[in-house]
Amino acid sequence: MTQQDAPLHPLMRPPGADNARVMNEELFFDLVYVFLVTQISHGLLHHLTPTGGMQTLILWFAAWLGWQYTGWVTNWFDPRVPALRGVLFLTMALALVCGAAAPEAFGARGLAFALCYAGMQVGRSAFVVCSLPASHPLAPNYRRILGWGIVAACFWIAGGLAPPQARVPLWAVGVACEYVSPMFGFWLPGLGRSHTSDWTISGSHIVERCQLFVIVALGETIMASGLSLAQSEHWSSIELGGFAASFLCTIAMWWLYFETSSEEAEHAITSSPDPGRMGAYFHYLHVVLIGGIIVTAVAMDLLLENPLEEARGAPALVMTLGPVLYLLASTAYRWVATRRLMSGQVVGAGVLLVAGFAGQDLPMWGLAFCETTLFLIISILCSGKIPRNRACI
């Protein structure tokens, strides 16, 4: 029996376009991620070292996986059902504690972070497994997801109990368990594997959820620039120019992302012979795309704190790396959604890298001005309705 042929379980979303929309419960859930994204970006801001970058990457993947797996649950199941609403609220509470513990996750609060994260991931899947009858088409899939969640939880808790220097490898394995396992259908001995072709998902829901998270992440860049300006004692022309560069960079990122219409992205999922796999691609791409926004937010913080500082080392790297990551992920997203190769964005990413390397003798505000100007030009040239199978010039 396929998912389409199964009788509708009380936990499932009823069929119909109106019931595929993003619900208020999901919007409420995303509020936690306003805080969590801020905590992660500030952690990178204060630890701009290779070790700090690796730690931030692990925490970001954990945050994204918590949101992603929740998004899949609410794609299939109705968050208006009181029991599922309670699971969402409990997940929010655990994610909020994860956010509070994030700055010291590789220090004194490592075990608290690990326990809350593991509880969030395992508890959500365990609820679904306990709620669905064994004969339901989604039940085997969630038993496999639960199995991988338990395996990942072992590494997370082991890392929380281990000395701080051992947490990076243990937690990296924990992240890999949940990020990589969907690629081979959550295969487990005795349980077999899931097939994405069996997943009936709502393309409009997946696309709208991703768009809302992008808005949350862009809000971090706006908040970073606004708070930095508010805390500045003297609003000089350089500081106001840095604020303008930060704001225009945010507009360029918004422009590039939302130029791919939701209708095109939704069509890519619903018209695919394997909608589940296409939805998974969207989530895999967004972890990089939103990561680029977070790195850019850190760069804008550094710019507004020290606009006259020479752009060298880690500050220059994040100033360049954030927009480049975003451009490349945006190109891949546009290709998946529309099958149009935006070659101009790829070229633009190369130009930004060259500008970042050549501009290391400039002050931070000078490099930010160059990078933002280039970013805006790229977003303008690569916008508009482009005929299918044509690249932007």
Q: How far apart are the first and last CA of the chain?
A: 49
The reply to whether 60 and 134 lie within a common domain is yes
Q: Is 82 exposed, middle or buried (0-12, 13-18, 19+ CB in 10 A)?
A: exposed
Q: Which two tokens stand for residue 342?
A: 């935006």
The reply to whether 178 and 233 lie within a common domain is no
The reply to whether 211 and 359 lie within a common domain is yes
Average pLDDT for 124-139: 92
pLDDT, residue 16, reads 63
Q: How many CA atoms lie within 13 A of 37 on its CB side?
A: 29
Residue 26 has pLDDT above 70, yes or no: yes
Radius of gyration of the chain (CA): 21
Task: Read off the amino acid at residue 224.
Answer: A
The reply to whether 211 and 79 lie within a common domain is no
DSSP 251-316: HHHHHHHHTS-HHHHHHHHHTSS-HHHHHHHHHHHHHHHHHHHHHHHHHHHHHHH-TTSB--HHHH
Q: Rounded to whole angstroms, what are the CA distances from 162 to 33, 77, 101, 114, 348?
A: 27, 37, 16, 11, 43
pLDDT, residue 383, reads 67
| Confidence label for 4 from pLDDT (cuts 50, 70 and 90) | low
pLDDT, residue 206, reads 87
**Domain end call among 154, 172, 194:** 194
Average pLDDT for 82-111: 95
Q: Are 277 and 198 in contact (CB under 8 A)?
A: no
What share of the chain in percent tops pLDDT 70?
94
The reply to whether 176 and 30 lie within a common domain is yes
The reply to whether 70 and 122 lie within a common domain is yes
The reply to whether 368 and 222 lie within a common domain is yes
Q: Tell me how many domains the chain contains.
A: 2
pLDDT, residue 261, reads 63
Average pLDDT for 48-62: 94
| Confidence label for 59 from pLDDT (cuts 50, 70 and 90) | very high
pTM as predicted: 0.88
Site of tokens 């997940």: 91
pLDDT of 65-76, one tens digit each? 999 999 989 989
Q: Are 147 and 160 in contact (CB under 8 A)?
A: no
- How much is the mean pLDDT over the chain? 87
Residue 292, domain CATH: 1.20.1410
Q: Which of 258, 231, 255 is nearest to 243 (CA)?
A: 231
pLDDT, residue 390, reads 41
Residue 293 has pLDDT above 90, yes or no: yes
Q: Where are the beta strands (DSSP E) in 159-202?
A: none
Residue 9 has pLDDT above 90, yes or no: no
pLDDT, residue 89, reads 96
Site of tokens 């801001």: 45
Least confident segment among 102-111, 132-141, 353-362: 353-362
pLDDT of 314-351, one tens digit each? 888 898 999 999 999 998 988 888 888 888 888 988 99
Average pLDDT for 122-145: 93
pLDDT of 144-161, one tens digit each? 999 999 999 999 999 999
The reply to whether 242 and 344 lie within a common domain is yes
